[in-house]
Chains A and B, each alone.
Chain A
Amino acid sequence: MQREEGSVLMIAMLTITIITLICATSLYVISQDSTATTQTTAWQQALAGAEAAVDHGINALNTGVWTNVTGNNDNWYTVTGSLPTSKPRGGSTANAVPGNDNYNYYFPPSLSLQGEACNSVSMWVTIDNANLPLDTNGNQAYRIRGTGQVGAPGPRRVSNQKMDNDLRKISLIYDRLSGAAVTGGQPMATRRIEVVVVPTAQSMWVRGLLAQHQIQMSGGGWIDSFDSSSGFKSTNGLYDVTKRQSHGDIATNDSVSADLKTFSDLRNTYVYGSIQYSGPAIKNITNVQGTVSTPFATDIPIPADPSWASGTYTTVAAGNPGTLNPGTKSHPALYKMTGNFTVPGGNVLNIPAINPGTDNNYVTLWVKGSFTISGSGYVNQGANVHVTYYLDGDVTVSGSAFLQAGTAYASNNQMIAVGTGNTTPTLTVSGSGNYIGTIWAPIYGITVSGTANLSGAFIGNNINISGGASVHYDEALKNLIEGNSTGNFAFASWFEDNSDPARGIIY
């Protein structure tokens, strides 16, 4: 006879036990995953808080508002000493950027959130100069640290994925920044963003190239600087590659071309200076020796035709006037040409120095038509003669088209391309030789081809330099023509400080 019938219950119980264990394990894993998901949410909210804190910092620098920031009597404070690792406290109300031995801090009002996860994001931000060097215009860069902190709902339990725990450093028991126990035993997510912001010089002549739109470089040339007013940084006031300086900065308000078809591309041209831009990232900047920062925003002044009263100027016929005698510094000679200006090959326009004194010969020529110097034609400019061109039409010159007697200074040769009545004006510099001067042509498409060396500073709509032409910014221009003013601050670096001092992870 069989006696096994009674074992059914045992088998059932065993099966139940096994399935129960499977269910319990699944519940445990799901529960852990659920906690990790919630912690991920808190981690994300903390990042938004940290980024918001950084924006508070750059807003303070850009606007200079340090008190009553939101209209709720909330202020920045300044504290003497170095930055704390955890929440700053104490100090007096700040009213300016921090100096060398202090920092500013601010606790913005918390952000309230609806729905799941944490319902409040707190943040704080500090600004100090971190002993960063002044830029070439004497302006200070700053370090901004923004911290966001939110509660991490759920039990004090780590994820079952080790990589989750390594990536998201939730403060379950101890605050990872201060090392102290978390407030109220509530797990916290804290994230910190540290950025370095650099000032953007607002003045027109503080950099080598300034474009409203794209900048294209190719052909093996380079961009650097010299100082015509210093014998240590130039030779007889002229660019000398052996005395090269590294302030050949370039900037663009919008790195896309005006027709939105092409993007700025330096093609690994050597830039002995820094780049500041807005818009899509400039391509191929490997050989930029300075910093690359964004955003950049400056109002490039649009030049206008002169408004000369009748009888104050001399009308000259179209073509080549032959000779233009200058006036004095206080009464420059004014010439207006309603037609096209042309100096063909083998011809010369003379502008001699006829007035006594080293700074007393000034000429302004206003050309309503196109401006062309071709072939071997050139302008023969006397020593220390200051010539200003107002140009309304297209401009075509060669690099050797302007010959200055004595020492050639960029400030003595100013080309102001207005472009009146010309929707897409162009300015072309071709051939070889040295062009020494400034070009202020914010609506012109500037094309430089050939192997010309351009010394001075250049402003255009789109700037395209090819064929090996190089640009040498004359640092003396910013002192000779215009003072220095600061525009917005631009981000030069941005990273998350993911250190965990309590666990010995320090960056």
Chain B
Amino acid sequence: MQIPGVKRHYEAAFTFSELCVSIVVSLLFGAAVFATNSRLFLALKTQKESTAATMVLQQRMESLRAASYSQVADKDYLKNTIFSNPTGSEEPLGSLNEQVAVGVYGDTSVTPIMLLRNPQHQTPQMLSNNDNLTNYNLLQVDLLLQWTSANGRTRTRQLSAVFGKGNIGP
């Protein structure tokens, strides 16, 4: 029986459905936004790591460029002077492995000087040595960084350069 003067609200049921759909859509969208946000934060962290790696490599390369040829070819100088301390930029790089190899440019048969610094060896560990690199005219220096990124992925960056005899000193 219908009460006179009172209209029936047919929308009421539709509104409830609509509410449910909205909730579902909103939840889905919220999840998407959360995922996007996570991805953005990850991308930001990745960029921060990339920039940090760039700065670490640059600092090391600047130090090497400020050294004479014989110093670059000297394992003790590399170990005790250039790579004895962490760089000021490596904090964002988790589980950083920093490796330097000084070898003969154009001749991979000659054993290089290789040092590795990582959380287990804050003082650089000697992987290989060659005391006769000053006998050669050109040296290649490879700086290799490996670290665990924010998403657990292993990332790698390398910077290489060539040093000629008598660069800024004998």
Q: Would B9 and A1 count as touching, CB distance under 8 A? A: yes
Residues on A with beta carbons closer than 8 Å to the beta carbon of B14: 6
Task: For the complex, give the distance between the alpha carbons of A491 and B51 in Å.
Answer: 31
**B12 proximity list for chain A (CB < 8 A):** 5
Q: Is the CB of B165 within 8 A of A6?
A: no
Residues in A whose Cβ lies below 8 Å from that of B160: 48, 52, 111-113, 121
Q: Judging by beta carbons under 8 Å apart, are B170 and A59 in contact?
A: no
Give residues of chain B (136-170) contacting chain A, Cβ–Cβ below 8 Å. 137-138, 140, 144-146, 155-170
A243 CB to closest chain B CB (Å) equals 36
Residue interface bits B6-29, CB-to-A below 8 A is 1, else 0:
010101101100110110011001
B15 touches A56 (CB 8 A): no
Tell whether, in the assembled complex, residue A278 and residue B158 are in contact, meaning their CB atoms are under 8 Å apart: no
Inter-chain contacts of A5 with B (CB < 8 A): 11-12, 15, 18-19
Are A23 and B33 in contact, CB atoms less than 8 angstroms apart? Answer: yes
B92 to chain A, nearest CB (A): 13
Contact of A115 among B18, B156, B161 (CB under 8 A): B156
Partner of A48 from the list B19, B51, B161, B169 (CB cut-off 8 Å) is B161
A297 is an interface residue with CB less than 8 A from chain B: yes
B60-93 interface code vs A (CB 8 A; 1 in, 0 out): 0100010010000000000000000000000000
Q: Interface with B: A38-46, A368-376, A398-406, A468-476, which one?
A: A38-46
Check: A71 CB closer than 8 A to any chain B CB. Answer: yes
A114 is contacted by which of B33, B47, B144 (Cβ under 8 Å)?
B144
CB of A158 within 8 Å of the partner chain: no
A8 with B157: CB separation less than 8 A: no
List CB contacts (< 8 Å) of A14-71 with chain B. Answer: 15-16, 19, 23, 26-27, 30, 33-34, 37-38, 40-41, 44-45, 48-49, 51-53, 55-60, 62-63, 65, 69-71
Which applies to chain A's interface (DSSP): helix, strand, loop or mixed? Answer: helix
A109 sits at the interface (CB 8 A): yes
Contact A51 B137, CB 8 Å, known A8-B22, A44-B57, A109-B106: no
Which residues of chain A from 96 to 110 have a CB within 8 Å of any chain B CB?
108-109
Question: Contact at B25–A16, with CB atoms within 8 Å?
Answer: yes
Q: When each residue 27-54 of chain B gets 1 if its CB lies under 8 Å from chain A and 0 otherwise, what string results?
A: 0010001001100100110110011001
Interface residues on B, range: 35 or more
A115-B156, A116-B157, A294-B168 known; A37 and B47 CB under 8 Å? yes
Q: How far is the CA of A219 from the CA of B167 in the complex (A)?
A: 35
Please, how many angstroms separate the alpha-carbon atoms of A278 and B67 in the complex? 11
Q: Which residues of B contact A15 (CB under 8 A)?
A: 26
Q: Within the complex, which residue of A1, A9, A40, A45 is in contact with B51, where a contact is CB–CB below 8 Å?
A: A40
A44 and B156 contacting across the interface, CB-CB below 8 Å: no
Q: How far is the CB of A142 from chain B (nearest CB, A)?
A: 14
CB < 8 Å neighbour of A113 from B21, B40, B158, B165: B158
Tell whether A34 pairs with B43 under 8 Å between CB atoms, given A19-B33, A113-B160, A297-B170: yes
Could you say which residues of chain B place their CB within 8 Å of the CB of A33?
Answer: 47
- A115 near B158 with CB under 8 A, answer yes
B58 CB contacts on chain A under 8 angstroms: 44
Check if B166 sits within 8 Å of A115, measured CB to CB: no
Contact call B40/A116, Cβ cutoff below 8 A = no
- B106 engages A488 (CB within 8 Å): no
Q: Which residues of B contact A (CB under 8 A)?
A: 7, 9, 11-12, 14-15, 18-19, 21-22, 25-26, 29, 33, 36-37, 40, 43-44, 46-47, 50-51, 54, 57-58, 61, 65, 68, 105-107, 137-138, 140, 144-146, 155-170
Which chain A residues have a beta carbon within 8 Å of chain B's beta carbons? 1, 3, 5-6, 8-9, 12, 15-16, 19, 23, 26-27, 30, 33-34, 37-38, 40-41, 44-45, 48-49, 51-53, 55-60, 62-63, 65, 69-72, 74, 108-109, 111-117, 121, 278-279, 294-295, 297, 488-489, 491
The 3 lowest CB-CB distance pairs between A and B, nearest first, are: A70-B106, A59-B164, A115-B156
Given contacts A9-B22, A69-B106, 20 further A-B contacts (CB under 8 A): A8-B22, A9-B18, A12-B25, A16-B25, A16-B29, A27-B36, A34-B47, A41-B157, A45-B159, A48-B161, A52-B161, A55-B138, A56-B138, A70-B138, A71-B107, A74-B106, A108-B105, A113-B158, A115-B144, A278-B168
